[in-house]
Homo-oligomer: A and B are copies of this chain.
Amino acid sequence: MINVAVLGYGTVGSGVVEVINTNNELINKRVGDTVKIKYVLDLRDFPGDVVENILVKDYDVIVNDPEVSIIAEAMGGIDFPYECAKKAIAAGKSYCTSNKELVAKHGPELIKLAKENNVNFLFEASVGGGIPVIRPINESLTPDDIVEVVGILNGTTNYILSKMAKEGSDFDTVLKRAQDLGYAERNPEADVEGYDACRKIAILSSLATGKYVNFEDIKTEGITKITDVDFKYANLLGLSVKLFGRFKKVDGKYFAMVSPVMIDKTHPLYSVEDVKNGILVRGNMVGDVMFYGSGAGKLPTASAVVSDIVEAARAIGRNINIIMSDEKLELSDISEFESRFFVRVKNADKDAIESVFGDVEIINLGEIDDEVGFITRSMTEKAFAEAESKFDNVITRIRIM
């Protein structure tokens, strides 16, 4: 018998209970033992719910119960989950979490503590919802030097961008609808400003390099400045606009960034639409591999948490080697990172543009006569900023991959 406690009975926490109850027989067979949910921690009451009789309000009841060997957390926030994780690990229990803030901030320390205590700190659900990506990087792509990771890591922004592309609507209209449908929070900042994607690419970069990439070091741009007019150009060019979390190793330097990026239809992430997520990983031996699926949602995310519970249950008494040390990885100055840029500029003619950017093809939407668009050659962020500063009428610029 493997006794599990679930912290938080919100969307994901209740999903964890549902997954374990629904596929109980199958999960027990795969674990080789009986998995039982002994406690659910939540401050609320749930009269009539299946967990009614196993609800507790005091974490100490769980952490002091020697019968509990695995704790699955789906609470959100940082300080309390961090305390819970440390206490659980110190008490010889494995800790599985969907909490990306916790992993991005304290992952390396908790991984180290778990190793010292011969238990496990697992976090498959923290990136890509139900998509297996943390474990494949840690346990499958082991022969490879991971030189690049590109991901659509946030379902809310991908939904918004997909709808803007299809419907020609503006950002505010689609955001409002996403909020009404429950795809976006009332306070959408963490999603639309790219903060969520930033934490996720920080976690993936840390796994890729085996060192700690601090999310606070990653240049992060959201999608709030993307307009319906940008999509008119994108459609004309056959491009799609996605919010990418990117990590790239170039000549021994490491770069990471979150920003909107335009891609064409040959890119493997081109057809990742709506709330789906996709993560492309490039290894120096295996080439490109891509993982795709539901990046959020109750049952997909819960499935990923339960996959950690199953792995922790199979590994009781043994630490699974996750190589993500607390040694910090120094990211290179993003101003040296190279991209091509799509640029929209007001009241500028081809000669003025080409005197700064060199030969470009001018894109004219037709319906708007006081602006033009163009695509630059590949140039560093710094060189682009210098060139851009020579115009006082740049409307927007979006990187192109």
Q: Which residues of A contact B (CB under 8 A)?
A: 19-20, 22-23, 26-27, 29-32, 124, 130-132, 135-136, 139-145, 210, 265, 268, 270-271, 283-294, 297, 299-300, 302-304, 306-307, 309-311, 314, 318, 321, 323
| A141 contacts across to B, CB distance below 8 A | 132, 303, 307
| Interchain residue pairs A-B with the least CB separation, the first 9 | A132-B140, A289-B293, A143-B306, A286-B303, A290-B292, A130-B286, A142-B310, A285-B303, A132-B136
Q: A210-B29, A307-B143 are in contact. Are A23 and B285 (CB under 8 A)?
A: yes
Q: A132-B140, A314-B321 are in contact. Are A285 and B268 (CB under 8 A)?
A: no
Chain A at the B interface: SS class: mixed
| A32 contacts across to B, CB distance below 8 A | 321
A139 close to B142 (CB less than 8 A): no
A289 close to B19 (CB less than 8 A): no
For residue A18, which residue of chain B has the nearest CB?
Answer: B285
Contact partner of A284 (CB less than 8 A), chosen from B23, B143, B284, B293, is B23
Contact partner of A285 (CB less than 8 A), chosen from B140, B144, B300, is B300
- Give Cα distance in the complex from A149 to B268, angstroms: 20
B323 close to A300 (CB less than 8 A): no
Q: What would be 20 A-B contacts, judged by CB atoms less than 8 Å apart?
A: A19-B143, A20-B143, A27-B142, A30-B323, A130-B289, A131-B289, A135-B139, A140-B307, A142-B307, A142-B311, A268-B271, A271-B271, A285-B299, A285-B303, A286-B304, A287-B297, A288-B293, A289-B294, A291-B291, A318-B318
Nearest chain B CB to A315 CB, angstrom units? 10
Copies of this chain, tallied across the complex: 2
- Give Cα distance in the complex from A23 to B131, angstroms: 27
| A270 contacts across to B, CB distance below 8 A | 271
| A287 contacts across to B, CB distance below 8 A | 130, 293-294, 297, 299-300
A145 close to B23 (CB less than 8 A): yes
B288 close to A290 (CB less than 8 A): no
| A139 contacts across to B, CB distance below 8 A | 135, 139, 307, 311
B27 close to A143 (CB less than 8 A): yes
Nearest chain B CB to A350 CB, angstrom units? 34
| A285 contacts across to B, CB distance below 8 A | 19, 22-23, 130, 299-300, 302-303, 306
Nearest chain B CB to A125 CB, angstrom units? 11
- Give Cα distance in the complex from A321 to B140, angstroms: 16
B321 close to A22 (CB less than 8 A): no
